[in-house]
Amino acid sequence: MKPQLLQTILLGGLVAGALDITAASINSTLHGGGPVRVFQSVAGGLLGRDTFQGGWKTAALGLAVHFLIATVWMALYAAASLRLPVLSRQAMLCGPLYGIVVYLVMYGVVLPLSAYHSKFFNQAKTALLTAVLIHIFCVGLPMALVTRWRLK
């Protein structure tokens, strides 16, 4: 792997991961939760509902898993952009669309298959809209912009 591609993947994963987890933490805090609960819920994909009994240990695991997942999604986007230059050229369009794809796969496929067994359609409409907007502006768009900037 070329160093520039690896650096792009790591940077994009860090930026999108930080924006996404920050937005999710703020949203959770506004609704009576908080960052620790958000981090633990990510670990719930591996541990199930027992994640909330694990304190800071499961929160740390969830945070690490979150950044790993963001980096994998970034790697997919960056690699695809090498074959499909439109992903870089049209970052302002393709990034938000990618954010929607990430949302649909995570909430529609990954979470239901995880130890958490989350049901995709059990979300309130406002929660669903908020999650989609977070994925558009805090996941897909930053990944596309970092890719465009770094892989010209």
Question: What pTM was estimated for this model as a whole?
Answer: 0.95
Interacting residues of 98 by C-beta distance below 8 A, sequence separation 6+: 77, 87, 139, 140, 143, 144
Q: Where are the alpha helices (DSSP H) in 1-152?
A: 3-30, 35-47, 55-83, 86-89, 91-105, 111-113, 125-134, 141-150
Interacting residues of 71 by C-beta distance below 8 A, sequence separation 6+: 9, 10, 12, 13, 14, 17
> Per-residue pLDDT tens for 121-144?
678 899 999 999 999 999 999 999
The confidence band for 152, taking pLDDT boundaries of 50, 70 and 90, is confident
